[in-house]
Amino acid sequence: MKLSLRVKLAMTFVLVAVITGLALALVFRSANQVRFDQFVIDQQSERVKTLLEQYYTLNGSWVGLDQADLMLPGTMPGGMMGGQGGPGGQGGQGGQGGMGGRWQGNEGGMPQAGGQTDRRLFALADPDGKIIFTQVEDWELGDTPEKTVLDQGIPLTVDGVNVGKLITVRRLPIYTEAERIFMERTTRTLALSLLGAVVLAALLGVAIAGGLTKPLSALTEAARNLAAGKAGEKVPVDRQDEIGELSQAFNQMSEDLERSNQLRKQMTADIAHDLRTPLTVISGYIEAMRDGTLDANPERLALINSELNHLKLMVNDLRTLNQADAQELVLKKQRVDLMDLVGQTAEIFLPDTLST
């Protein structure tokens, strides 16, 4: 199927818009997910930091923290941390109790508040950098994370003294229902924006392609008319870009062709006139001699021969001109005697001068 240039340009604009939009969408979605995860982690880290500092303030150490489950802010009703025998409340099975709140744990000690998503996001390192409490599978108790990990941790201070660092994961392992809905809505909005951009690119592509192909169509029509013999065919020049330059070049070519045709017509008329004169002389003498009006004396025959030589020279000049037009003429340089050349030229016009 043959596609016009307008259709190809419009498809190109749409394809570029789709590729660019998809690339931007992927980058935006990835960056948005990273930023959203960091936002949620930072938000929950502040609450967990407060709970840990409260725990240390009440206990004076981290003793017993391994027996108290750390409750994520998004999964516990009271937002508190408790454990068996923890201060502020009576411990019980599954870690019931805590500082000012109640929560329920499952048999594995993981918080399951109200059926919400359970996530392991935090680990706690003591001032020496050893892990003393962890929810994250990457670290076990007694491990010492790398310095870069510790430097990115959140310092825990009680009365101006550093008592540890809260270490968080970089990405959320799982989303809550509300977070999942938020991400789905963000993705849906991004997809609709991409669809709108593609539609807009298609409309702009059609408009721009039409603006580009319209002068080209005019050039094509003018070229066809010029090939059909309509001399002086021109197209309007209303642009200052490459297409405008092409239109100007076409108009200049059309003018040159028209001028060349006029010159050829004039040259043809001149050649016909120049050929007619010696032919008329030769024809008149021959007819007069045939009819017996004039005698075929040497002088008349010499005149006829001179006119024939003139015709030969004119034919040779035409052949030379044709070779020059075809760029086949080879220029041969040679020395000449100017006096002889002037004398020969004078002898050509001498009979005419004597006859007058």
Q: Give the tens place of pLDDT for each residue, 205-254.
A: 788 777 777 777 888 888 888 787 777 777 877 777 777 888 888 888 88
Q: What angle do CA 293, 296, 300 make, to 5 degrees?
A: 100
pLDDT for 107 equals 36
Secondary structure element (H or E) that encloses residue 304, with its range:
helix 298-325
Indicate whether 124 pLDDT > 70: yes
Q: What is the DSSP letter of 105?
A: B
- Residue 338 or residue 75, greater confidence: 338
DSSP H helical ranges for 152-176: none
The Cα–Cα gap between 112 and 325 comes to 97
- Residue 241 or residue 129, greater confidence: 129
Please, what is the average pLDDT of the chain?
A: 74
DSSP H helical ranges for 136-241: 147-151, 177-227
pLDDT for 76 equals 39
The Cα–Cα gap between 123 and 138 comes to 10
pLDDT for 119 equals 67
pLDDT for 272 equals 80
DSSP three-state, residue 91: coil
Per-residue pLDDT of 130-149, as tens digits, reads 888 887 777 888 888 888 88
> Dihedral through CA 93, CA 98, CA 104, CA 110, nearest 10?
-90
Considering only the C-alpha atoms of the chain, give the largest distance between any 2 of them, rounded to a whole number of Å. 157
Per-residue pLDDT of 294-324, as tens digits, reads 777 888 788 888 888 888 888 887 777 777 7
Pick the closest to residue 156 from 37, 46, 44 (CA basis). Answer: 46
pLDDT for 88 equals 34
Confidence class for position 102, pLDDT limits 50, 70, 90: very low
Given a contact cutoff of 8 angstroms between Cβ atoms, the answer to whether 103 and 113 are in contact is yes
In this prediction, what percent of the chain has a pLDDT beyond 90? 0
Secondary structure element (H or E) that encloses residue 131, with its range:
strand 131-134
Which range (25-34, 79-88, 306-315, 322-331) has the least confidence? 79-88
DSSP three-state, residue 135: coil
- Residue 118 or residue 285, greater confidence: 285
Six-digit token string for 295: 């005698």
